[in-house]
């Protein structure tokens, strides 16, 4: 497998990180969003991150100049139809994703692999939006936040996804220093299923919007549990809105089993637009 031309759709938290990682691996990347403002913001923050890596002498200015040339921001109608791989990283909403996949299926060449970075929707269900011919080249590629640093990529095989394609993707990511995992197409795949309790139980422990209690839980899980981030810090990084959508979708998929139930505080925060770091206010404040 030779992945050279990548299209990433959605220039938010995940899409911009994924685009940055692929450019760092010397792929040509076209980053798409339906908001021009978001595209410019993403480009600015990726460039700033690369400039910082030059300052810290982790990358040379020559490498960064090359990466900057490899990354372009565009609207969908402007991207190359013969991309090797498309990664969808838009809002976690099944109908909106399916509408996009239908469009992508018509737009890209039959050889193009179309993938989703969904946190929770079944790959087989989303593949209903593409033609039968494309289904074998439709796959889940679930990156973790921040995508440039987190090594794990879940490679999810839908019912009709070609097994050989999954194995080739696995080998390609491994060769690029990621740690891929082949996953079944089950709700939340591996990590997001296990992680539901990492968020849900701490929310049930603190019960109310009490920053001191949250700090205490975060501190205990970091100091005693050995986690790099506490659950409240991590939810703020992921995005409260994104985490809430994933919680609801995994809960629905498990017929509303109590252990997966969302907490009332999550919905309250989404209604108040406290989305975490990206809106400067989540469980904690970011100024
Ligand atoms: P985000 O809210 O930061 O970014 C989503 C972006 O998609 C926005 O810039 C928005 O303008 C754009 N967008 C929405 N509809 C679009 C469309 N039809 N066409 C083009 N662009 C469109 O969301 P985030 O956090 O980046 O999540 C994206 C996906 O990645 C979701 O499926 C989420 O479940 C998944 N994910 C999120 C993780 C996280 O930690 N935030 C981790 C792993 C997966």
Q: Are residues 86 and 103 in the same domain?
A: yes
Which is it for the CA torsion 245, 246, 247, 252, positive or negative?
Answer: positive
> Which residue's CA is the nearest one to ligand 1's atom 31?
92
Q: What is the pLDDT of residues 7-49, one digit of tens each?
A: 999 999 999 999 999 999 999 999 999 999 999 999 999 999 9
CA distances (Å), origin 218, targets 181, 192, 212, 240, 279: 28, 19, 10, 16, 20
Pick the closest to residue 142 from 36, 50, 246, 67 (CA basis).
246
What angle (nearest 5°) sits at the alpha carbon of residue 16, between those of residues 93 and 271? 40
Q: What is the pLDDT of residue 260?
A: 94
Is 114 a member of any domain? yes
If one counts the domains in the chain, the total is 2
Q: What is the pLDDT of residue 79?
A: 96
Examine the residue annotation and report whether 263 is marked as an active-site residue of this protein.
no
Task: Mark which of 133, 166, 183 sits at the end of a domain.
Answer: 183
The one catalytic residue in 16, 119, 243, 245 is 119
Is 55 a member of any domain? yes
We report the CATH number of the domain holding residue 269 as 1.10.1040.50
Q: Are residues 121 and 220 in the same domain?
A: no
Q: Are residues 89 and 212 in the same domain?
A: no
- pLDDT of 120 above 90: no
Read off the pLDDT of each residue in 201-218 and give the average, rounded to a whole number. 95
Q: Are residues 17 and 134 in the same domain?
A: yes
Domain that holds residue 123: 5-183
The 10 Å CB-count burial string (b at 16+, else e) for 220-236 is: ebeeeeeeeebbbbbbb
Q: Are residues 257 and 164 in the same domain?
A: no
Q: What is the pLDDT of residue 111?
A: 97
Q: Are residues 120 and 235 in the same domain?
A: no
Distance between Cα 29 and ligand 1 center (Å): 17
Which pTM value belongs to this model? 0.93
* Cα 268 from Cα 279, distance rounded (Å): 15
Examine the residue annotation and report whether 154 is marked as an active-site residue of this protein.
yes
List, as one string, the DSSP characters of 83-107: -SEEEE---S-HHHHHHHHHHHHHH
The one catalytic residue in 16, 116, 120, 192 is 192
Q: What is the pLDDT of residues 227-237, one digit of tens each?
A: 999 999 999 99
Read off the pLDDT of each residue in 176-192 and give the average, rounded to a whole number. 95
Q: Are residues 170 and 225 in the same domain?
A: no
Task: Mark which of 183, 214, 243 sits at the end of a domain.
Answer: 183
Percent pLDDT > 70 in the chain is 100
Is 88 a member of any domain? yes
Task: Mark which of 156, 183, 210 sits at the end of a domain.
Answer: 183
Distance between Cα 134 and ligand 1 center (Å): 23
Q: Are residues 68 and 156 in the same domain?
A: yes
Report whether 136 contacts 159 (CB < 8 A).
no
> Which residue's CA is the nearest one to ligand 1's atom 25?
13
């Amino acid at each position: 497998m030779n992945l050279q031309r990548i299209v990433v759709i959605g220039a938010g938290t995940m899409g911009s990180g994924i685009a940055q990682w692929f450019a760092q691996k010397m792929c040509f990347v076209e980053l798409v969003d339906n908001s021009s403002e978001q595209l410019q913001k993403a480009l600015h923050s990726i460039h700033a991150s690369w400039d910082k890596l030059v300052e810290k002498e982790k990358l040379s200015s020559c490498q960064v100049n090359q990466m900057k040339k490899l990354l372009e921001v565009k609207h969908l109608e402007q991207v190359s139809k013969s991309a090797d791989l498309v990664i969808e990283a838009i809002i976690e909403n099944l109908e909106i994703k399916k509408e996009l996949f239908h469009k992508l299926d018509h737009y890209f060449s039959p050889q193009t692999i179309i993938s989703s970075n969904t946190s929770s929707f079944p790959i087989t269900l989303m593949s209903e939006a593409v033609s039968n011919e494309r289904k074998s080249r439709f796959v889940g590629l679930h990156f973790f936040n921040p995508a440039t640093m987190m090594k794990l990529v879940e490679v999810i095989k839908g019912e009709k996804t070609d097994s050989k394609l999954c194995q080739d993707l696995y080998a390609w990511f491994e060769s690029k220093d990621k740690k891929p995992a082949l996953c079944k197409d089950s709700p939340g795949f591996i990590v997001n299923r296990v992680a539901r309790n990492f968020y849900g139980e701490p929310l049930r422990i603190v019960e109310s919007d009490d920053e001191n209690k949250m700090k205490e839980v975060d501190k205990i899980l970091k100091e005693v549990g050995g986690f790099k981030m506490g659950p409240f810090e991590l939810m703020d990084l992921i995005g409260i809105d994104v985490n809430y959508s994933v919680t609801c979708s995994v809960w629905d998929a498990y017929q509303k089993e109590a252990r997966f139930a969302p907490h009332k505080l999550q919905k309250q925060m989404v209604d108040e637009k406290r989305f975490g770091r990206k809106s400067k206010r989540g469980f904690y404040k970011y100024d």
